[in-house]
Amino acid sequence: MVTEKPVKIMNKNHDKTTGLYKIAAKILKKVKTGSSFKTQLYQAQYPNKLLLNAVLMNVFKWENVIDVLVEKSNILEKENNMDRELVYVLITEMMWSKFGLKGTAKNILAVKKYKDEFLQLMKENDLEKLTSSTHTKVMKPRFFRVNTLLTTLEKILEKLSELKFIKLKTPKSYAQFLELIKSDKFKGRNVFVQDIHIKELLVFNSKVKFYEIEEYNNGSLIVQDKASCLAAYLLNPKSNSTVLDMCAAPGMKTSHLAAIMQNTGKLYAVDRSKERFYILQNMLEKYGVQNVETFNMDALTFPYYDDVKYILLDPSCSGSGIVDRVRNDSSGQNQNFQTRLKKLANVHAQLLNHALKSYPNLERLVYSTCSANHEENEAVVDEALSINGKFKLLDCTKMVKGWTNKGAPGYDCSEMCLNAVPSVDCTNGFFISVFVRRDLEDNDIAEEEENIEDSEDIKEERVVEDNEIVDKKVKILKKPIISNNDTNVENKSQIKKNKKRKRNEVVKEEKVFEHNEIVDKKVKKVKKSSITNTNKNLENKSQIIKNKNIEGTPLVKSKNAKRRERRLKLEKANESSGLQTTKTKKQKKVKVEET
Ligand SMILES: C[S@@+](CC[C@H](N)C(=O)[O-])C[C@H]1O[C@@H](n2cnc3c(N)ncnc32)[C@H](O)[C@@H]1O
């Protein structure tokens, strides 16, 4: 009895470990043939995603070295054509993992025989220099967002002080801020600084982890890269508004939006992936999001249009901006990657055009990706602008004071977009553009831009005064960003709003009536069928929308001249087709008004 027990445990562990290696190898194979790493990781039938991620990251790091080891040792042929990807995982674990290569399976024992030979080859050929250094060179701190739906910044600051963390002064300018987080001062594990742009974001050394503290485990502190936070920050929805997050899972930005809206208004969170949708639901519950309705469906078929004022579009992308993801296939040389990039860009264009065309009351949209590829970013934005004349871009970098990295040159939108560059901004690579409706009175938009900028000025003052005054200042900061409480601004825009409201009152009442009658029925159906989408009416409607969009979403070629030529053509085409559609809509509105 006594001797049987450990054997059982060993077998269990052994199965678990080889399972991990096999699954990692499977993912590796799929990624090599063009699949998205993130999707594969989420979908993998392995519960410990962190461990799986760590194993794979290590393989990516050492891949170039393993190429040489495999070739020179001829291990694949010698070991009866063992699976290449599995060998890569096993070699990585044996040579460079903290825990070593575990297990007694045949494949594992076979690889273990080569350890000395590999060490020798490494030494003789100085192979270490071949390791993928992209992510090791980039200094990326760890950002924790204070989840203001569950706690307050003050409480977290208190907790950090109890834990003996030292809060450094937030410098006055972004350049100085970057200098600080790249400096030796920031290497200590017990220091942190409040972000210069997003007040509820705290910046720590990359080694800081809060796995044991309650605030991390109960969702009060969320690990979220600054670049990712900038998307919701720039969308900046007002309290009590209606917001649609078209590609919401796992819900990082949705929960940030809810926090900005202080759980007021309505937040629609849509995601078409079943697996990620469950994660989204759990996450939003954990993070205390209460103003959300979630929909497991394709955003192109989402049926509620009338009240949506803000849209966040953060679609699945190549992920080439993510610092820890070092893939050769994202270097742009790989044929599969190029094909995938084209497909992704097409889908992005389709979603973006759908959003800009289909929501009659849409005022502001943020389009973001964690990609560093222009095809998925600037090209998509240029194209969308050229065929959606009602919208223009806001200058993102103006709203994030001191930010220098704009869109890649050579595109019409370049100057207005924001790029986060890992080596400069100490974040993941990220792209953001902000669309606003042209027919919103210009002053309204300027006021909104000012609001974000104003908050920076206040923040600078606060920084000078430092810690004790943080509480008061934080409240002052919160107001203009979230609820436009500055009375002058409010009075001005209130007058405009009232005027506008009067103009629209009749239309809106009718619309609401129509909405209640028709949409309420839809609500039930969508809820029932949110996973399977069986409602035929909805399907037909969305199919029509889809078809419309597929037709209307060509992709941009990089040459400006070609783009302009095409845009002219499109404008002409729109004059005869697109404009008619708008007119029809306007005519419809007039009719409603008349009745
Ligand atoms: C980059 S992730 C979104 C990350 C999310 N915004 C966050 O901050 O946590 C992209 C998501 O878009 C979803 N997606 C892609 N195409 C979609 C579509 N047509 N409709 C709805 N969701 C879609 C994917 O399932 C994936 O979960």
The mean pLDDT of 393-419, rounded to a whole number, is 95
- 16's CB contacts (< 8 A; 6+ apart) are none
The mean pLDDT of 515-542, rounded to a whole number, is 34
What is the Cα gyration radius of the chain? 26
* Closest C-alpha to 535, from 295, 306, 248: 295
Q: Return the ligand 1 atom nearest residue 369 CA.
A: 1
> What number of residues does the chain have?
595
pLDDT at 462 over 50: no
Q: Which of the residue ranges 72-81, 92-101, 262-271, 458-467 would you say has the lowest mean pLDDT?
A: 458-467
Distance 35 CA to ligand 1 centre (A): 15
Structure-token pair, residue 57? 């990251």
Distance 249 CA to ligand 1 centre (A): 6
Are 154 and 471 in contact, with CB atoms under 8 Å apart?
yes
Distance (Å, rounded) from C-alpha 187 to C-alpha 206? 9
Q: Which segments of 265-389 does DSSP mark as H helices, in order?
A: 274-286, 335-358, 378-387
Structure-token pair, residue 422? 């890992």
Q: 81: left (phi > 0), else alpha (psi -120 to 50), else beta?
A: left
CA distances (Å), origin 532, targets 156, 316, 544 = 42, 21, 18
314 is in an annotated binding site: yes
* Closest C-alpha to 309, from 272, 350, 261, 271: 261
Q: Express each pLDDT in 243-254 by its tens digit.
A: 999 999 999 999
- Residue 566's pLDDT is 55
Q: Which of the residue ranges 91-100, 429-438, 534-543 would you say has the lowest mean pLDDT?
A: 534-543
Among 316-330, 453-467, 543-557, the range with the most confident prediction by mean pLDDT is: 316-330
- Residue 593's pLDDT is 26
Q: Find the helix or strand (DSSP H, E) in which 200 lies.
A: none
For atom 13 of ligand 1, the residue with the nearest CA is 247
Find the farthest-apart pair of alpha carbons in the chain and give their distance in angstroms, rounded. 89
Confidence of residue 291 (pLDDT cuts 50, 70, 90): very high
Q: Which residue has the higher pLDDT, 253 or 588?
A: 253
Q: Return the ligand 1 atom nearest residue 319 CA.
A: 1
Confidence of residue 561 (pLDDT cuts 50, 70, 90): very low
pLDDT at 484 over 80: no
Average pLDDT across the chain, whole number: 75
Q: Residues 229, 247, 317, 370: which is the catalytic one?
A: 370
Distance 89 CA to ligand 1 centre (A): 29
Q: Express each pLDDT in 213-223 by its tens digit.
A: 999 999 999 99
Distance 301 CA to ligand 1 centre (A): 14
Q: Which residue has the higher pLDDT, 242 or 13?
A: 242
pLDDT at 132 over 50: yes
* Parallel, antiparallel or unpaired: strands 142-146 and 201-204: antiparallel
- Residue 323's pLDDT is 64
Confidence of residue 6 (pLDDT cuts 50, 70, 90): very low
pTM for this model (two decimals):
0.61
Task: Using most ligand atoms within 8 A of CB, pick from 247, 313, 317, 322 the residue to mutate for ligand 1.
Answer: 247
- Residue 562's pLDDT is 52
Look at the domain 226-450 and name its fold: Rossmann fold (3.40.50)
For atom 22 of ligand 1, the residue with the nearest CA is 271
Confidence of residue 189 (pLDDT cuts 50, 70, 90): confident
Confidence of residue 448 (pLDDT cuts 50, 70, 90): low
Cis preceding linkage at 250, omega within 30? yes
Q: How many CB atoms lie within 10 A of CB 551?
A: 9
pLDDT at 265 over 80: yes
ipTM of the complex: 0.99
Q: Return the ligand 1 atom nearest residue 350 CA.
A: 19
The mean pLDDT of 273-283, rounded to a whole number, is 95
Confidence of residue 34 (pLDDT cuts 50, 70, 90): low
The mean pLDDT of 148-163, rounded to a whole number, is 97
- Residue 496's pLDDT is 52
The mean pLDDT of 5-26, rounded to a whole number, is 61
Q: Return the ligand 1 atom nearest residue 245 CA.
A: 6
Single-letter code of the amino acid located at 70: V
Are 391 and 399 in contact, with CB atoms under 8 Å apart?
no
Distance (Å, rounded) from C-alpha 412 to C-alpha 414? 6
Distance 114 CA to ligand 1 centre (A): 43
pLDDT at 404 over 70: yes
- 365's CB contacts (< 8 A; 6+ apart) are 235, 310, 311, 312, 313, 352, 355, 356, 391, 434, 435, 436
Distance (Å, rounded) from C-alpha 558 to C-alpha 97? 43
Report CA 401 to chain centroid distance, whole Å.
21
Distance 246 CA to ligand 1 centre (A): 7
Q: Which residue has the higher pLDDT, 16 or 240?
A: 240
pLDDT at 321 over 80: no
- Residue 577's pLDDT is 41
The mean pLDDT of 60-76, rounded to a whole number, is 88
Our answer to whether residue 370 is catalytic in this structure is: yes
Q: Return the ligand 1 atom nearest residue 298 CA.
A: 20
- Residue 340's pLDDT is 80
Confidence of residue 112 (pLDDT cuts 50, 70, 90): very high
298 is in an annotated binding site: yes
- Residue 341's pLDDT is 84
For atom 12 of ligand 1, the residue with the nearest CA is 247
* Closest C-alpha to 377, from 453, 441, 430: 430
- 364's CB contacts (< 8 A; 6+ apart) are 235, 236, 237, 309, 310, 311, 434, 435, 436, 437
pLDDT at 332 over 80: no
Distance (Å, rounded) from C-alpha 306 to C-alpha 517? 13
Look at the domain 142-223 and name its fold: Alpha-Beta Plaits (3.30.70)
Confidence of residue 110 (pLDDT cuts 50, 70, 90): very high
Distance (Å, rounded) from C-alpha 36 to C-alpha 376? 14
Q: Express each pLDDT in 340-391 by its tens digit.
A: 888 899 999 999 999 999 999 999 999 999 988 899 999 999 999 999 999 9
Confidence of residue 570 (pLDDT cuts 50, 70, 90): low
The proportion of the chain whose per-residue pLDDT surpasses 90, expressed as a percent, equals: 46
Ligand 1 interacting residues, C-beta cut-off 6 A: 228, 246-253, 270-273, 276, 298-300, 314-316, 351
